[in-house]
Structure 1
Amino acid sequence: MKAMILAAGKGERMRPLTLTTPKPLLTVGGRALIDWHIERLRTAGFRELVINHAWLGDRIEAHLGDGRRQGLQIEWSREGEPLETAGGIQKALPLLSDWFLVINGDIWCDLDLSRLSPPDDADALLVLTDNPPQHPDGDFHLTDAGRVRADGEPRLTFAGISLLHKRLFDGVVPGVRKLAPILREAMANDRVAGWHHSGQWHDIGTPERLRALDEQLQASQGADR
């Protein structure tokens, strides 16, 4: 199975930090966000990786190269202008395996990615997490049977980590497209499974949250010395 890191956003809420640095290269705990992802992907056994980019994408390519230094192979999906989540994935489909893992480049999560496996009776597996303070109402409901619904209580937050099958994008027209409407349609057809991650997860949406996570990781690393 291949993996894809979504790294094409402009990071407008992170300005002025992202005026000269793409969001995936912002550092926490002494390393770039995207480096944390790559380490966890490699540890989980992934060896082929696709990364899309648009804003300051040349900086990301210069940082990672072809992936050999990190112990894997990287292919690049260059967008020019950001195509949103579904648009970016749809453009990269020729580079991906039938099932593939997708992870947002602007999160930090301690999930062991090797624990995720494609469901036999669905087109997607979404990782959901407890609602953070900045998103108290959550996104979706996870049933006792492990299916994800657009409606229902209690609600959890989509962690920006998923396993997707290419058929989920059948009929999706190339261009700027969001993933949420496609997922909701699949949920209505009972084709989305879910995984509840109860460990650490951080959405790096503001400079303040970036700074808080950096301080947490620095403190943790200091305690381990």
Structure 2
Amino acid sequence: IIGDPIAGIGVEMMRQAGLEVDVKTGLAPDELERTVGGYDVIIIRSATKVREPIIKAAKNLKLIVRAGVGLDNIDVEYARSKGIEVMNTPAASTNAVAELTVGYLLALARRLPQTTASMRAGKWEKKKFRASEIAGKTLGLVGYGRIGWLVAKKALALGMEIIAYDPYVADPRGLEMEFVSLEELLKRADYISMHLPLTNETRDLIGGPQFELMKDGVRIINCARGGTIDE
């Protein structure tokens, strides 16, 4: 069963491989709980949550696939305790998210949302919206996995200096950058970009005390999970 929309070619490839595939998107949790009983595999994206009640109801379930990166919408530990494998597709959106991050970075630096709104209102407020260049600025990456690394690569090409905090990574993978503590990153960065999963360890990683360490006027980009920042 496919619980969230995916590309039609993906559905067709599974059927050509001999799988019986039912596409049932937009089901409420109670509807999915009533429906999932006879299926061996469930494929979801971000919208559908596969929590304990659904897993309990899925008597034949052997595999949960998250078509994407984060697994915070799945009760992973409970599923695995029942012998159900949980998989994701970590490389699928790497470049798309990295490009989006750079797009937000440039939009913040050049104040594109504000200037666009001003222009649409028929105004010409060039002096009001003073922008800045990103070349020579310091980008702090919180998380240096696939996406964080690719953002660093793209930002280096734009002339930025890169620092990163990741307690699980120590290899710059060929890039000229520096690993630092979270505290040092928050103090030094002109731009901060979040690239880490939402776990008990990372929930509200950035909150009041961390904001106090930052420079005035720092820009924060979060293309990861909203829960990593105490908004």
TM-score (norm 1): 0.30
The answer to which structure has the higher strand fraction is 1
**Bigger radius of gyration:** 2
- Larger RCO, structure (CA 8 Å, separation 6 or more): 1
